[in-house]
Structure 1
Amino acid sequence: MTDHDVVIIGGGAAGLTLTHRLGRVNHPRGGPPRVALVEPPPGPHTPPPRTWCFWEPDGGDWDGLLAARWRNLTVVGPGGAARTAPADPYVYKMLRSADVDAHVRSRGGFEPVPLLVTAVRDGADHAAVEGTLPDGTPARLTARWVFDSRPPRPAPVGRTLLLQHFRGWFVRTPADAFDPGAAVLMDFRPPQPEGAVAFAYVLPLSAREALVEYTEFGPEPLTTAEYDRALADHCARLGLSGFEVTAAEQGVIPMTDAPFRPRAGRRVFRIGAAGGATRPSTGYTFSGVLRQGAAVAAALERGRVPVPPVPHRRRHLAMDAVLLRALATGRVRGAEFFTDLLTAGRLGDVLAFLDGGGRWSRELALGLRTPVAAMFLTTLDHLWYSARTALTPGRGSAPPPTATPGGRRRPVR
């Protein structure tokens, strides 16, 4: 006899949205499954609040909790030329993790367990999650299925690794300074670091409040002081003065061609970024998390093994591997590449491709807007590498990842 049907480890985007989804599942034995959501006790292991951004059509499950939404998106090139276009049929949306957490808990239907997990043990009939309670007492939960959103150890290794690292300020201005109807998706006017890509974005919450964020795709995060200098420079570039920083967020997202395998055992699975939900070329994860949760819920309702899918098509992962390699080797300049991609045609088509939708014909048209020679050379390089590693015993994903050239560097001023 197991304690639960499902144990979910981690209360981030993947864990919370899966918990919410399972509350609407009609389990084969009748009623919703018995679910436990395991999170570390409050303290150093508690993740900080986050904002989660994604795009989808109107009418999504989370629309009632949105902190903000935008139909129009702006892209600013390195030289300052700006293009604002509708994202139709999509809407760009922002959720706050605290709002999602409060909503999921208010609906109930699961057991919250404050447990610092020390081990997950697979088995033929059930899996076990072991750890310590807040008072230090050992505890053990058993379940038919365990979904673990923690980063796998060791991390999967691929050929190329870039880090999307960022810091954002929530700012409040003394006078109207933002257009709440339009978000700046990418602004490439910040100085471009050697061997990396830098951009900023602005997500208005009102005419006087916005999230201003500085991001790099590169080999190594900056210090907080370096991020703050870059943010101050960009706020000056935007003409902001006398503003107040009301909060900040900071993080690192791996962008890698490493293979992620959601199945970790007979009854243990990985979800979220740990299960391959992150799109390697963009770092966006939330849409992939929602697709994984929907697939798990559907499998449980049908009495099937609930293996979370990698929510990205194989051809898109191959394209992402080529792009990451092209950026890492310097064959393409990231600022120009993304500006051309996002501004040359209909924005909705680009967003469909970046989220895994769209048709071959549109993808081919998008590909022709990129530096064709550089991307073709990198594609040949990728195919040769893939064939060589497939034919060489003991290779596969073993070689150490490479990032952009240069090691530790600071933004070029």
Structure 2
Amino acid sequence: MALPVDVDLALVGGGGAASLVLAALDRENLSGVRVAIVDPVHKRGQDRTWAFWGTPGTFLDPLLSASWPAVDVVTAADRRTLALHPLRYAMLRSGPLYDLAGAAEQRLGAIRFTAAAGALHDDGGHVTVHDAEGAPLVRAGWVLDSRPRPPGRPGRTHWLQHFRGWWLEADRPLFDARRAVLMDFRTPQPARGVSFGYVLPVSDRFALVEYTEFSPAVLSGGEYDAALRDYLTRLGIDGDTVRVREVENGVIPMTDGVFESRPSPRVVRLGTAGGATRPSTGFTFTAMARQADRIAREVAAGRAPLPGPAYPARHRWMDAVQLRALDRGLTDGVAFFGRLFDRNPAERVLRFLDGTTSWREDLTLMASAPLLPMIRAATGDAVARLTRSAGRGRTGGQR
């Protein structure tokens, strides 16, 4: 059996989280760090689209397909155009990020193993990455594992953000390229959950149009297509006048379950597996970028590549309360989001969803939510936590 290759850092999984780490290491000029990537597929081309907000002037700017200084939030009653300054909403397709990571991989002299990773054996000093058959591939000082996995500790609420998007091309101008539609709640609402349309225009003739639900279960393919056709009608677009160039599907966890970000001394989980997905919205990209930047800075300083929590603990609690309120029917989802944007500057709401607001701003946001439903949800969440804690205590006492 061949001996494993020795490296300083092994990336298990080669998607968005790993690509951002490679790019961040390259920006820090860490060519002396020995890096390996273990993934069964060498990611290239367009396989997903990320939408996120942030300030202009970052390394991502040349990679963007489009960005917008304003977004629309639409209900049956009105349409609000929200100015985002000093932020902007941006769209990044996967191809340019994979290309950037590929160039970084070359400059770093990284070793790539096109294989599915199996067990990770952490002896406290190094981590051995095995392939799916159990053969050792890499012995690393640290492993950054971005493979998807469920939460290490189940939550009290289990919802999903699930969607289907059509990349539409038209022969005449149909879209307003000056702003994106962040949430259009004119879609029929599910019995349990929230649905909305979503429009990201690259030009007046080319746009990504999505149907999204926050709810406990996914739909069938036919149901997503019917919802998209209905939404196009609401946009005033005849489906026969546009061509579907690509289709995107996704399912993202929305749960207050705890993702185990450090399963062993020298293994660190990234992306959704590391808690980067915001439970209240499913947004992930900005937290992954923050994780990558922090890791690269720590490595450059000669410290352990630990990214820190993706979001403050108080935000995770606020998300748990919001999910419980929606799940138990204590508040109407459309009214909740509409009220949040009505009573706060858009950039404050977006910074909250990115986990960068202050305690004072968080209190202001909480005050803008419907008071009695949130109190009931918070009380129920506290009781559920205490009940679970007591149950664990009794189980521990019987061992």
Higher helix proportion = 2
Equivalent in the alignment of 1:203: 200
For the residue of structure 2 that corresponds to 1:393, the secondary structure is: helix
**Who is 2:8 aligned against?**
5
Kept in 2, the 8 Å contact 1:164–1:218? The answer is yes
Partners of 1:40 and 1:46 within 8 A in 2: no
Q: Does 1:17 align with 2:17?
A: no
1:268 matches 2:267: yes
Which segment drifts farther, 363-372 or 199-208?
363-372
Q: Distance in 1 between matches of 2:236 and 2:29?
A: 54
The residue type equivalent to 1:304 in the other structure is R
Gaps of 5+ in 2: none
Question: CA separation in 2, counterparts of 1:301 and 1:129?
Answer: 23
The alignment partner of 1:3 has SS state of strand
Partner Cα separation in structure 2 for residue 183 and residue 257 of structure 1:
29
1:395–1:159 distance in 2 versus 1, CA, 3 Å: farther
Which letter does structure 2 place at the counterpart of 1:259? V
1:276-287 counterparts in 2 under 5 A? Answer: 276-287=275-286
CA distance, structure 2, for counterparts of residue 99 and residue 137 of structure 1: 34
Q: Does the 8 Å contact 1:200/1:215 carry over to 2?
A: yes
Identify if the C-alpha distance between structure 1 residues 105 and 162 changes in structure 2 by more than 3 Å, giving closer, same or farther. Answer: same
CA deviation vs aligned residue, 1:305-347 (integer Å, no higher than 9, x gap): 2223221001000000000000110001111111111233311
Of 92-101 and 339-348, the range deviating more from structure 2? 339-348
Q: Are 1:125 and 2:149 matched, yes or no?
A: no
Alignment CA distance shift 1:138-1:386 (3 Å): closer
**Offset of 1:366 from its aligned partner?**
2.0
Counterpart of 2:51 in structure 1 is 53
Alpha carbons of structure 1 residues 33 and 317: separation in structure 2 relative to 1, 3 Å: same
Inter-partner Cα distance in structure 2 for 1:102 and 1:349: 33
**2:75 pairs with 1:72:** no
Residue 48 of structure 1: how far off its partner (Å):
7.3
1:72: Cα distance to partner? Answer: 0.7
Local SS of the residue matching 2:203: coil
Q: Return the offset for 1:93.
A: 0.8
Matched residue SS, 2:85: coil
For residues 128-177 of structure 1, the C-alpha deviation after alignment (integer angstroms, 9 at most, x for no partner) is 11116xxx995511111111101236754111111100000000112101
Tell me if structure 2 keeps the 8 A contact 1:173–1:209.
yes
| Corresponding residue SS for 1:373 | helix
Kindly report which structure 2 residues correspond to 1:281-320, keeping only aligned pairs within 5 A, or say none: 281-320=280-319
Quote the Cα distance in structure 2 between the aligned partners of 1:147 and 1:352.
27
1:180 matches 2:177 = yes
Select the residue among 80, 99, 106 that pairs with 1:83. Answer: 80
Q: How many residues align?
A: 387
Tell me, what secondary structure is at the counterpart of 2:80? Answer: strand
Partner of 1:326: 325
Aligned 1:167-246 pairs, distance under 5 A: 167-241=164-238, 242-246=241-245
Q: CA RMSD in A?
A: 2.2
Which moved further from structure 2: 155-164 or 300-309?
A: 300-309
Q: Which moved more, 1:253-262 or 1:362-371?
A: 362-371
Q: Name 1:39's counterpart in structure 2.
A: 39
Measure how far apart 1:353 and its partner are.
Answer: 1.2
1:55/1:395 Cα in 2 relative to 1: closer, same or farther (>3 Å)? farther
| Residue aligned with 2:320, SS | helix
Paired residues of 1:6 and 1:147 also in contact (CA < 8 A): yes
Distance 1:91 1:48, change over 3 A: closer
Q: Residue type matched to 2:212 in 1?
A: T
Question: Per-residue deviation at 1:265?
Answer: 1.0
Question: Structure 1 residue 372: deviation in Å?
Answer: 0.8
Residue type of the alignment partner of 2:232: C
Question: Quick check: 1:159 aligned with 2:156?
Answer: yes
- Conserved? CA contact 1:389–1:395, under 8 Å: no
1:386 deviates by: 2.1
* Residue pairs, 1:350-389, within 5 angstroms: 350-389=349-388
TM-score after normalising by structure 2? 0.92
Question: Compared with structure 1, are the counterparts of its residues 106 and 304 closer, same or farther at alpha carbon in structure 2 (3 Å cutoff)?
Answer: closer
The one of the two structures with greater contact order (alpha-carbon pairs below 8 A, sep at least 6) is 1
Taking the aligned partners of 2:305 and 2:71, their CA distance within structure 1 comes to 37
Change (3 A) 1:294 1:178: same
How far does residue 188 in structure 1 lie from its aligned partner after superposition?
A: 0.3
| Secondary structure class of the residue paired with 2:253 | strand
Distance in 2 (alpha carbons) for counterparts of 1:25 and 1:325: 42
Q: Closer, same or farther in 2 for the Cα pair 1:369/1:23, shift >3 Å? A: same
Q: Secondary structure at the match of 2:308?
A: coil
User: Taking structure 1 as the reference length, what is the TM-score of the superposition?
Assistant: 0.89
Q: Give the equivalent residue in structure 2 for 1:97.
A: 94
Offset at residue 125 of structure 1 (A):
2.2
SS at match of 1:226: helix
